[in-house]
Every structure is written in structure tokens, then in C-alpha cells.
């Protein structure tokens, strides 16, 4: 059975392609952040700072992604979730080009950017995988 039902059933491959592309970019940001972390950085305060950067960013991304459908009238939705994803990509690229003197800031920025992207994907998939109102009405 296909993951997407209702009015999103024919857009499933497009949604999966968008999710794969955004997840790949988020994975690149996490990999870059992991390469920057050194053993001396693994202190409790730094781990707490990473969590304080990642958790709110992921929650914000998920809320925005779930609040809006990926597609509207068979076209990509140009709402806040898309702009948040673009902002996450730009934030991540900004983290990639920062100086090595600001290594911990780079790690925080890269983790926050990937959390935004993964949160957005989670929201989009959650919204798109659920049955639409018209599908629920037809079923009953």
C-alpha cells in the first residue's frame, strides 16, 4: 500500500523526492558538524548548548512543516515551511563558510540548520501521509 492517500496519492513520488533532497542536505550539515567536533569539545556544557540549539529548531521546523501541505493545487506550496527550509539551508551554508576560529559556533549553526531541515521533513511527511479530509469523507 502506498504511503500517501487521498488527494496526495499522485504527488507521493514528488514528496519523497523533496524529502530525500532535504534530508541529504541535512545529513551533509550533520556530517560537517561531526568532523569539526574534537574530543576536548565533549564537555557537558557544550552538549547542552548543542541540544539547546537543536531541539527548538527541530520543533519549529516540524510545526511549520505540519502546518502547511507540501503541494497546493499541484504546485509547490510557497508558504512559511518552504521559506523556513530555505532559511535552514542558507544557515547551514553560512556555518560551512565560517572561520575555523569559530569552530564551536560553526557546530551550533550546522546542528541547528540540520534540525530545522529534519523537523520540516518530519512535518511535511506527517501532514502528507495522513488521510485528507476528502478521503475520510469518501471512506465513511
**Does any domain span residue 136?**
no
Report the relative pairing of strands 75-76 and 71-72 from DSSP bridges: antiparallel
Which pLDDT score is estimated for 114? Answer: 95
Which pLDDT score is estimated for 23? Answer: 92
Domain membership of residue 66 as a residue range: 11-129
Contact of 36 with 50, CB cutoff 8 Å? no
SS3 at position 75: strand
**Does any domain span residue 24?**
yes
Which pLDDT score is estimated for 127? Answer: 78
pTM (two decimals) = 0.79
**Does any domain span residue 98?**
yes
**Does any domain span residue 138?**
no
User: Could you list the mean pLDDT of each consecutive 10-residue stretch along the chain, which spans 140 residues?
Assistant: 57 79 93 83 79 89 81 70 88 92 89 93 79 55
Which pLDDT score is estimated for 1? Answer: 35
The domain total for the chain is: 1
**Does any domain span residue 108?**
yes
Nearest residue to 117 via CA among 57, 45, 73, 56: 57
**Does any domain span residue 139?**
no
Which pLDDT score is estimated for 38? Answer: 76
Nearest residue to 25 via CA among 97, 121, 133, 106: 121
Which pLDDT score is estimated for 28? Answer: 95
**Does any domain span residue 3?**
no
**Does any domain span residue 77?**
yes
Amino acid at each position: 500500500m502506498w504511503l500517501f492517500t487521498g488527494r496526495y496519492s499522485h504527488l507521493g513520488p514528488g514528496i519523497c523526492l523533496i524529502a530525500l533532497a532535504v534530508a541529504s542536505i541535512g545529513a551533509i550539515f550533520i556530517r560537517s558538524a561531526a568532523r569539526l567536533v574534537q574530543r576536548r569539545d565533549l564537555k557537558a556544557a557544550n552538549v547542552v548548548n548543542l541540544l539547546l540549539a537543536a531541539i527548538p529548531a527541530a520543533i519549529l521546523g516540524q510545526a511549520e512543516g505540519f502546518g502547511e501541505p507540501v503541494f497546493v493545487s499541484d504546485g509547490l506550496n510557497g508558504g512559511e515551511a518552504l521559506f523556513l527550509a530555505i532559511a535552514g539551508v542558507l544557515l547551514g551554508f553560512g556555518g560551512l563558510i565560517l572561520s575555523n576560529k569559530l569552530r564551536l559556533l560553526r557546530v551550533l549553526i550546522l546542528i541547528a540548520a540540520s534540525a530545522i531541515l529534519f523537523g520540516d521533513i518530519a512535518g511535511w511527511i506527517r501532514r502528507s501521509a495522513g488521510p485528507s479530509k476528502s478521503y475520510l469523507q469518501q471512506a465513511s
